[in-house]
Amino acid sequence: MFYLGCAIWAYKEWVGDLFPPGSRSGDFLRLYSRRLTTVEGNTTFYATPKPEVVARWADETPETFQFCLKLPRAVSHSGPLAGQLTSTHDFLARMAPLGPRLGPYFLQLPPTYGPAQFADLERWLLEWPREVALAVEVRHPAWYEAPDEARLMELLERHGVGRVVMDVRPIRQSGAGAMLDDARERKPNVPMHPLRSGGMAFVRYIGHPEPAQNDDLLDAWATRLSEWLQAGDKVYLFMHCPDEARSPGLCRAIQSRLERLGAVPPLPWNSLAADEPPEQLRMF
């Protein structure tokens, strides 16, 4: 019921931390999927992978691992969603070979897509396959205000669709210089409304590069997530950081809090030897 991961699976500075020393880039997905339990698949926003790539992703990951793939920008950022139904179904067909490894797809709407487009979003959701999990992220400020937020939540719940929660509060704090300035520029300054729908919570936490700056917020998130899990909701939590090298540490930080609360089992990461030789995973 609880899936924890980062925004990417391949980052060379994780070698010696998330990955064993000496790990090769060709092994990163295999190693990542045996340490964390999900990944936010941002690469599919920019390009749809070829069938052989999808097959390789399935081959390199356990069935218990979950890809939460972002819908292509050709769907979400090319005008009305209803005009992209063919592209939507083509993308789903391409990714279908992942089978049980498919977590909720992730539709990120642009900041210009507001409540005036409600009917378009409703029409698109009517064509979305009910058996395929989906979460929607909105960035237009009006979606976070009454009455439009309640109207949106009713629509998502009616279609069994999750609401993406983005927590950008950490990067609105002081410190970290130019790195945080860039993150503040790129990430929308939306309020953190801890909402869930469709039987799931889908949370994107944008962490501060200085670990101690996250402590109070992570304490609060651990309590909230524990309550949601006890209520029977499935939880997907993605830890981001402007300094991507620190994202696995954020995963560790929230995981340890949830374990202390008795809310989640240990990560697969915990059962692996820190010095696991990458040669055992791939010899050629």
Per-residue pLDDT reduced to its tens digit, 195-240: 999 999 999 999 999 999 999 999 999 999 999 999 999 999 999 9
Cβ atoms 267, 4 nearer than 8 A: yes
What number of other Cβ atoms are within 10 A of residue 177's Cβ? Answer: 9
163: CB partners within 8 A, 6+ apart: 135, 136, 152, 153, 156, 195, 196, 197, 198, 202
Q: Which of 43, 129, 126 is nearest to 81 (CA)?
A: 126
What number of other Cβ atoms are within 10 A of residue 284's Cβ? Answer: 2
Beta-ladder partners of 5: 38, 238
Cβ atoms 40, 107 nearer than 8 A: no
Q: Among 3.20.20.410, 3.40.50.2300, 3.10.180.10, 3.90.1150.10, what is the CATH number of 2-272?
A: 3.20.20.410
Model pLDDT, residue 132: 96
Model pLDDT, residue 233: 95
pLDDT tens digits, 5-56: 999 999 999 999 999 999 999 999 999 999 999 999 999 999 999 999 999 9
Q: Which of 62, 70, 66, 58 is nearest to 3 (CA)?
A: 66
Q: Which of 91, 135, 138, 92 is nearest to 114 (CA)?
A: 138
Banded pLDDT at 106 (limits 50, 70, 90): very high
């390199």: which residue's tokens?
A: 60
Model pLDDT, residue 280: 42
Cβ atoms 10, 23 nearer than 8 A: no
Cβ atoms 167, 206 nearer than 8 A: yes
Banded pLDDT at 185 (limits 50, 70, 90): low
Domain locations in the chain as residue ranges? 2-272
Average pLDDT over residues 106-128: 97
Where is 54: in which H helix or E strand? helix 51-60
pTM above the 0.85 mark? yes
Model pLDDT, residue 269: 84
5: CB partners within 8 A, 6+ apart: 36, 37, 38, 39, 40, 66, 68, 237, 238, 239, 251
